[in-house]
Amino acid sequence: MDYAASRDEALARIAAAQDLGALETLRVEFLGKQGSVSGLLKTLGGMSADERQAVGPQIHALRESVSEALTTRKAALESAALDAQLAVETIDLTLPASETPRGSIHPVSQVMDELAEIFADMGFAVATGPEIEDDWHNFTALNIPESHPARAMHDTFYFPDKDGEGRAMLLRTHTSPVQIRAMLGQGAPIRIIAPGRVYRSDSDATHTPMFHQVEGLVIDRGITLGHLKWTLETFLKAFFERDDIVLRLRPSYFPFTEPSVEVDVGFAIVNGKRVLGGSGDAPGHGWMELLGSGMVNRKVIAAGGLDPDEWQGFAFGVGVDRLAMLKYGMDDLRAFFDGDVRWAAHYGFNPHDVPTLSGGVGTAA
């Protein structure tokens, strides 16, 4: 028998197979239980030892060649099939959308964009810092030493391991560590806001374990409490789009500011709802606590690598989620982070409504 001729014929037919189905039929025809090559292998059993020695290697080589050809052809057909599928499934991203996008901008993102726009107009840049902080930036440099009760008050989430310098690692409990990073990183003068996520182990209708703050920091020569009050007033009037916003500064305490002032904003009760505007002392009015602030403590300026005799400044911190709730009328903070598309559709903002000072920073949802 001419094994070479059988091999050449089999290989030619395998190479000509046009699809995986045809190839499988050939595999069965050659190598299946009743296959022709399998049949040849079976004949070995009935041969004399001499015969087997002469013919055996040829039959095995034939089986080897056929099996190899089948594998090669199979891979080629599969990759051709994939190429064809990829060609058919190509998406032309330059085509116009056939449907209006359904997504909307989350109120927190919207308010952060509004803040950036308002403060940019006053010469503030946007700064950021890491959400995973070390306890030196989050506490120590801000004049909150290890034994300070404020550390316990912050309900801090700690990581099990310390960093390379032996500092405890934590999820930042406020945006104030960005004050330190800005001073060390850029020196003075400074005018920044630092919006971002912060974390405290706390949860009810008005507290979530993750929430958002925006920090403000100004460092320059001759900065006073007057600059702080003007900045906050200008910001809040622009943000709430009302000229009758009235602030009340109350003495308070933060380790990183001295003196510290809590800022209240006057509101009126209209149809059972609190509406910001007017003095909180007027009949039917009240004061609402809005943010913490103060003159940057000399120790903090020194921790930031600056000379407190030359540089002064003010800082403030305010809850972004709270600002959003007040401006856009949501009452449950937890809904902010539930990811319910009905809530997002109701309170979300059109992606095309970019807040601008010229177009308005308060476009209603």
Cβ-proximal residues to 120 (8 Å cutoff; 6+ apart), any chain? 126
CA–CA separation, 6 and 29 (whole Å): 13
294 binds ligand PHE (CB under 6 A): yes
Identify the sign of the CA torsion 185, 187, 188, 189. Answer: negative
Query: Are the C-beta atoms of 153 and 255 separated by less than 8 Å?
Result: no
Residues 120-179 that bind ligand PHE (CB under 6 A): 174, 176
What are the φ/ψ torsions at residue 220 (nearest 5 degrees)?
-165, -170
Among 254, 336, 347, 349, binds ligand PHE (CB under 6 A): 254
Query: Are the C-beta atoms of 347 and 328 separated by less than 8 Å?
Result: yes
Cβ-proximal residues to 38 (8 Å cutoff; 6+ apart), any chain? 30, 31, 32
Q: Which stretch binds ligand PHE (CB under 6 A): 117-125, 226-234, 243-251, 290-298?
A: 290-298
Residue 257 vs 312, nearer CB to ligand PHE: 257
Shortest approach of ligand PHE to residue 254 CB, angstroms? 4
User: Which residue in the shown chain puts its C-beta closest to ligand PHE?
Assistant: 317
290 binds ligand PHE (CB under 6 A): no
Residue 267 vs 316, nearer CB to ligand PHE: 316
Residue 240 vs 316, nearer CB to ligand PHE: 316
Shortest approach of ligand PHE to residue 98 CB, angstroms? 47
Residue 235 vs 254, nearer CB to ligand PHE: 254
Q: Which stretch binds ligand PHE (CB under 6 A): 42-50, 181-189, 275-283, 287-295?
A: 287-295
Q: Which stretch binds ligand PHE (CB under 6 A): 73-81, 132-140, 161-169, 288-296?
A: 288-296
Residues 303-342 that bind ligand PHE (CB under 6 A): 315-317
Residue 29 vs 258, nearer CB to ligand PHE: 258
292 binds ligand PHE (CB under 6 A): yes
Shortest approach of ligand PHE to residue 92 CB, angstroms? 49
Residues that bind ligand PHE (CB under 6 A): 174, 176, 254, 257, 292-294, 315-317
